[in-house]
Amino acid sequence: MVFPFMSVEDFKINLSEEHEIFRKSVREFVESKLMPIWQEVEQTNKIPEEVLKEAAELGFFGVGIPEEYGGQGGGQLLTAILTEEVSRAIPSLAVTIGVNHLFAVPVLLYGTEEQKRKYVTPIARGEARGAHANTEPSGGSDVAGIQSKARKENGHYVINGRKVFISGAADADYLVVSARTSPPREDKRWWGITVFIVEKDTPGLKIGQQFRVMGMRGEQPYEVVLEDVRVPEENIVGPINEGFKVIVSTYDHTRIGIAAQAVGIAQATFEKALNYALQRELFGQRLIEFEMIIEKLADMYMKLEAARLLTYWAASLADEGKREFIVAASLAKAFATETAEWVARQAIQIHGGYGVDVETGVERYLRDAIITTIYEGTNEIQRLTIVRQLVRQAFGLKI
């Protein structure tokens, strides 16, 4: 039974030799450039500029972006592989790359040809950076609850509002910003939101405090304040008053990247736990000879591979343009991020006291994993999306 999908063929994962060649090239960069600096990133809360420059030169910022707009192409699956490999070493670098996609995806899906060439092309080439400013103090998962306002004035829109927890905001050259251009309708609470491209040097746009969140050191989020920010009409992305669809469909695509981050985190912590269990002796035996450790490692590995398969599957469906990818993306995001949190917790337990020692680099993955369960739609929202999409696909009903 394949309910609610159309056929068993929907469960294909379209991997090729090119994907493996690409993965190996990213792994080489990760092992030689990222693994040696994870402590520096944790201590300084900053990714070195030379690392970002090399990642740009290797084309990482353009993976998943069409070649006609300066990207490397490759779609969601190639992007997931890149994100997973980078997250094995420094998950926050995967965030740095990912926030550029959070800017580029809505423009690619809904923007004009001029917008794509003007804004997406330099981002894909690593010549500029983007960010996505949607979350507000009132909440982020409730996109329809956006309170920032934009009023039309002489061919421009004047935006006022405050955004919070915006990754990459301090270094962004362009931001996608959501604001209300009309009040919501009684029958359509989501109605009235519009999406704009705001350039960094626009008067009235201010980058506020940096939020000291528990993980993702190297790419922690910022506050963005908009005070009478004037944006030309040509910078509107998608239909006026229908920006809710622009934002939500963006997350349908980009949450696959969060699942891939989680897979990378789970992979790293599993590897550390397995290696430690092989080397550590206790009561005259190696840890891996204890039945409870064997059970932990087996369960960690099962969950890890299940998370990877879900993530690659969701990416394959998205690359094929199948509507079913939406529910698969939510399945992958919720399962993979919760797997990463659980696997990291088990890895700490296997390491004992060394697991909570920051110098060993194990506990940081748990901090990062917890964050993946929250951003780009909490896992509670993913469960809501799963059931809504299931009922819509199977019965044509809305709940």
Assess whether 161 and 184 both reside in one domain.
yes
**What residues pair up with 58 in beta bridges, in sequence order?**
none
In this prediction, residue 8 carries a pLDDT of 87
Q: What percent of the chain stands above pLDDT 70?
A: 100
CATH number at residue 161: 2.40.110.10
Assess whether 125 and 135 both reside in one domain.
no
Residue 234 and residue 107 in contact, taking contact as beta carbons nearer than 8 Å: no
Please state, in angstroms and rounded to a whole number, the distance separating the CA atoms of residues 298 and 330.
25
Assess whether 269 and 381 both reside in one domain.
yes
Domain boundary among 197, 221, 241: 241
Structural domain includes residue 66: yes
Assess whether 177 and 249 both reside in one domain.
no
Confidence band for 336, pLDDT divided at 50, 70 and 90: very high
Could you report the per-residue pLDDT of 21-47, keeping only the tens digit for each? 999 999 999 999 999 999 999 999 999
Assess whether 251 and 237 both reside in one domain.
no
Assess whether 268 and 388 both reside in one domain.
yes
CATH number at residue 270: 1.20.140.10
Residue 197 and residue 119 in contact, taking contact as beta carbons nearer than 8 Å: yes
Assess whether 201 and 318 both reside in one domain.
no
Which residue type is seen at 238?
Answer: G
Assess whether 179 and 296 both reside in one domain.
no
Pairing of strands 130-133, 174-180: parallel
Structural domain includes residue 141: yes
Pairing of strands 149-153, 156-166: antiparallel
Residue-range definition of the domain harbouring residue 152: 131-241
Please state, in angstroms and rounded to a whole number, the distance separating the CA atoms of residues 363 and 348.
7
Please state, in angstroms and rounded to a whole number, the distance separating the CA atoms of residues 372 and 333.
8
Total domains in the chain come to 3
Residue 386's closest CA among 314, 309, 319, 320? 314
Structural domain includes residue 3: no
Structural domain includes residue 116: yes
Assess whether 256 and 384 both reside in one domain.
yes
Assess whether 18 and 38 both reside in one domain.
yes
Domain boundary among 188, 210, 241: 241
356 by DSSP, 3-state: which? helix
- CA-angle at 305, arms to 301 and 310, nearest 5°: 150
Structural domain includes residue 1: no
Domain boundary among 129, 152, 171: 129
Active site residues: 376
Please give the mean pLDDT across all residues of the chain: 95
Confidence band for 393, pLDDT divided at 50, 70 and 90: confident
Please state, in angstroms and rounded to a whole number, the distance separating the CA atoms of residues 287 and 264.
24
Residues 6+ apart with CB under 8 A from 335: 259, 306, 307, 310
Residue 252 and residue 329 in contact, taking contact as beta carbons nearer than 8 Å: yes
Could you report the per-residue pLDDT of 168-194, keeping only the tens digit for each? 999 999 999 999 999 999 888 899 999
